[in-house]
Amino acid sequence: MRNAVALVAACLVAVAAPPVAAQTLEDVVRALEGAYSRMTDLRAEFTQTAFNKSLNQTIPAQGAVFLKKGGKLRWEYKDPTPQEIVSDGKKLWVYTPVLNQVNVGDAPEALAGPAGSFLAGLGRLRAEFHVRFLNPARPRDAEGNWVLDLTPKQPLPTLARLILTVEPKAWEVRRAVVHDQFENTVTMRFTKVAINSSLPDTLFTFVPPKGLATVPLR
């Protein structure tokens, strides 16, 4: 089963904000905080590469993600194995069609903090994270994007470090790399992003198909 909290931690996508002539770390942080504080929901397509250090194994995946303030989320994996991870902020469902089962439990406490509620968390970037440029001597990459190195002030097993690559005009987060405490990584790239499109709350409640086995989430 995929680590739902780690996946939530990687839910950083485009932000719609007016262009800002950011030059310093403080400028970049202020722009990101302002953009995320105005965001209520988002949806995007993603590609993902998960690296497991202990197994020396890399697994690719792709799908769509839907997020809404209040801890609501929906990850729909299409490849390589269909799976849905859904939360209404209180309950968490992990549905695996090939197993004909859904794992159900309370939404982890982490979903209420910076690991799971980035729509709110990045609106309080300096309160939730220690922030620096990944390379202070060269804060932009070859394409001119800002590259930020974030360390949560209250680290979690699933989120020890977060690297963001941020486009400097529309403040779109092009790439996010999540590091956990075991040195595993999840790298995600986002496309076809829509911001504040009034996603319905029903999107974040799982309705089990008839005959589906229900198993407690552990």
Domains in the chain, CATH or no CATH each: 4-216 (2.50.20.10)
181: left (phi over 0), alpha (psi -120 to 50) or beta: alpha
- Rounded to whole angstroms, the Cα distance separating 182 from 157 reads 8
What pTM does this model have? 0.80
Query: Which mean pLDDT values do the consecutive 10-residue runs of the chain (218 residues) have?
Result: 47 43 83 82 91 95 90 90 92 94 82 51 78 95 93 84 85 85 92 90 93 89
pLDDT for 114? 43
Query: Are residues 42 and 67 in contact, defined by beta-carbon separation less than 8 angstroms?
Result: yes
Q: Cβ neighbours of residue 24 under 8 Å, at least 6 residues apart?
A: none
pLDDT for 177? 92
Phi, psi of 27 (to 5 degrees): -60, -45
pLDDT for 52? 94
- Token representation of residue 72: 């609501």
pLDDT for 17? 43
Distances (CA, A) of 195 to 11, 42, 43, 44, 49: 13, 5, 7, 9, 24
Residue by residue, DSSP assigns 138-159 as S-B-TTS-EEEEEEESS-BTTB
Q: DSSP letter at 203?
A: G
pLDDT for 127? 84
- Rounded to whole angstroms, the Cα distance separating 44 from 91 reads 22
Q: Cβ neighbours of residue 203 under 8 Å, at least 6 residues apart?
A: 66, 68, 72, 74
Query: Are residues 14 and 68 in contact, defined by beta-carbon separation less than 8 angstroms?
Result: no
pLDDT for 167? 83
Q: Please report which helix (H) or strand (E) contains residue 124, including its range.
A: none
